[in-house]
Amino acid sequence: DIQMTQSPSSLSASVGDRVTITCRASQSISTYLNWYQQRPGKAPKLLIFAASNLQSGVPSSFSGSGSGTDFTLTISSLQPEDFATYYCEQTYISPGTFGQGTKVEIK
Amino acid sequence: DVQLLESGGGLVQPGGSLRLSCAASGFTFSSYVMRWVRQAPGKGLEWVSSITGSGASTYYADSVKGRFTISRDNSENTLYLQMNGLRAEDTAVYYCAKDSEDGSGANGYWGQGTLVTVSS
């Protein structure tokens, strides 16, 4: 299976901050990389698919980039509703595998 | 609107069985791969099983192979997960998820989840 490693595991930030989360794959996955947001007690929600494509209805403050093994999720200006845990997922090779998550907390 | 509604979770003893259901609406159910993804308490996401739109092909995580069976009833727009030989480590919230529209393999929509607790 392909291993996905996110960094950092957690971070503290303030409203309005720019936040960057990194995801690294154990082998090249082209752009088969998705990002999800999970608020406490809720189901995950797809934010970005195929590395850089914004899911319908997701604010443009979210963006994704990368290809091969290194990927980034950026939140350009953190809003109160963005405090959550974020997961990357590769779907290049079945089974899809998730990163361990990055928890974004309020500073 | 797409809706996925899981049911069937609960408390079960080790070695027991449960069948989870996921009622789908708002899309052409038979056209989409469907998946089960679970999340142990305080842990991350783990893919469990997938099934193609026709139901002809199924896939399982090694951790559940031989114990869990995924199936679907396209006439009833319902996805199932039959879980046998349950273990403590199967304790988790189980989500059903619909394949995305774009061919990326992403999980475009998720249900609210159903909690399975395996304990004596």
B48: phi then psi, degrees, rounded to nearest 5: -110, -50
**Option in B44, B95, B113 nearest A98 (CB):** B44
Q: Which residues of A touch B (CB under 8 A)?
A: 32, 34, 36, 42-46, 49-50, 53, 55, 87, 89, 91, 94-101
**pLDDT tens, A28-82?**
999 999 999 999 999 999 999 999 999 999 999 999 999 999 999 999 999 999 9
Give the Cα separation of B70 and B27 in Å (integer): 20
For B74, the token pair is: 């396209």
**pLDDT tens, A68-97?**
999 999 999 999 999 999 999 999 998 899
Give the CA radius of gyration of chain B.
13
Give the Cα separation of A45 and B109 in Å (integer): 7
Gap from A100 CA to chain B (nearest CA, Å):
6
Task: Per-residue pLDDT tens, chain B, 120 aa: give them.
Answer: 999 999 999 999 999 999 999 999 999 999 999 999 999 999 999 999 999 999 999 999 999 999 999 999 999 999 999 999 999 999 999 999 999 888 888 999 999 999 999 999
| CA torsion, ordered A53, A104, A19, A52, to nearest 10 deg | -10
Q: Which residues of B touch A (CB under 8 A)?
A: 37, 44-47, 50, 59, 61, 95, 100, 102, 104-113
